[in-house]
Amino acid sequence: MNKPAASPIHPLVLMQVESRLSEEQKAIQTVVREFAAKELKPNIATWYEDGQLPARDLAKALGGIGVLGMHLQNYGCAGTDAMSYGLACLELEAVDSGLRSLVSVQGSLAMFAIYKFGSEAQKQEWLPKLASAEVMAAVAVTEPDYGSDVANLTTMAVKGTNEEGVEGYIINGVKTWCTFAARANVLMLLARTDPDRSKTHRGLSLFIVPKPLGDAHGFMFKQPGGGKMEGRPIDTIGYRGMHSYEIAIENWFVPADHLIGEESGLGKGFYYQMSGFENGRLQTAARAVGVMQASYESAVEYANNRKAFGHNIAEYQLTQVKLGRMAVITQASRQFSYAVAKLMGKGQGQMEASMVKAYVCKAAEWVSREAMQIHGGFGYAEEYSVSRLFVDARVLSIFEGADETLCLKVIARRLVEESNAK
């Protein structure tokens, strides 16, 4: 009599990954994992089907457990390390990409620039509100004609005054891929403050741009002085519910003290924002590991319950080979991400963050595809989570710098520069 096939050993057990974490890191991972299992996972299918995330409520809940800006010190932030931040992103991504995006947009792309380059007054004013989700942020960098070519952005910010005589900047331009923009209180907006376009990235500055709250769909707001901001949602094949927007901005006034770094920040916005993107690339890699983890677990569960020709498909060698390769790649990606997180915790690893992002995100596409393949036709059905994981994995190679741009403009360039310096 044939014995039933044993479940494949989970790669986390095989590699004893969690034993290498500190007690604090384990505790943080447990808190986020339990929060995700209790508060998020039961609702994901409904949110996905409806195309709606209760973003502001979720942001406040995530702020309540301390994960917004958790790697930053003081100003209402938890003060953990890059590894802990990555673990939190991994656990959230394993449940849903939109939820994790909320954390990294707020923590890496918005809060980090203020934390590192803002004036003390700006830190005191904005960081506690962002950490608690009293204020929710969106990032407005990309433009319809300029994606990775950030240095050539055309949105202009010109010095001027509002109808009350307050000095500041008047902004005109169009931004796109502004995630959660309708539900945000502020935009972290990169604009050209020097009209001389030959200065490229040296003419850009970064602003905190307050805006009214909208709903999950299109919005249009006006300022008393005639400024206008209009946003339309961008329909996407995945990441349903988080909504990214294209925003047209006309004569929108921002007070002078909303320039990051104030007067000393003029022309430095590119560097300020890119530092946030470098920080965010590690978190994107962690997201990819989360997708792989969820894909692997779904594939194992399905393989142990799906019968074909009288046997669970987990008993067939072809399935076992697929699961084995998925486990190997997932663990290699996890270890790579952990190693880079340790480097970044020491203030190093900027190039390595680009490397791990480029590799791990591509790996996530393959692992989620194999999980889908194990599910057969049901892998294409929305009732199974692997269909969502597969679609969400695809965009990871584009977010936070497309693979091609990272390999050419960041990784290869730095390697050549370092080689020539020797």
Round to whole Å and give the CA distance between 113 and 122: 11
Which amino acid type is present at position 73?
Q
Residue 418's CB is within 10 A of a number of other CB atoms, namely: 10
Work out the angle at residue 66's Cα, subtended by the Cα atoms of residues 390 and 352, and round it to the nearest 5 degrees: 55
Catalytic residue among 143, 278, 365, 400: 400
What residue type is assigned to position 99 of the chain? L
Measure the CA–CA gap between 374 and 295, rounded to whole angstroms. Answer: 10
Say if strands 167-179 and 244-255 run parallel, antiparallel, or are unpaired.
antiparallel
Spatial separation of the C-alpha atoms in residues 294 and 299, rounded to whole Å: 9
Please list, in sequence order, all residues whose beta carbon lies within 8 angstroms of the beta carbon of residue 412, skipping any fewer than 6 positions away: none
CB 182 within 8 A of CB 217: yes
Dist. CA 367–CA 190, nearest whole Å:
35
From CA 109, how far away is CA 184, in angstroms rounded? 14
| CB-based contact 85:73 (threshold 8 Å) | no
Confirm whether 120 is a catalytic residue: no
With H, G, I as helix, E, B as strand and everything else as coil, classify residue 300.
helix
Helix (H) or strand (E) holding 228: strand 228-234
Token representation of residue 9: 């050993």
Q: How many CB atoms lie within 10 A of CB 109?
A: 23
DSSP of 389-418: HHHHHHHHTTTTS-HHHIIIIIIIHHHHHH
The CA-CA-CA angle for residues 245, 246, 248, to 5°, reads: 135
Which runs of consecutive H residues, i.e. helices, occur in 65-175? 82-93, 97-104, 112-117, 120-132
DSSP conformational letter for 321: H
Active site residue ranges? 400
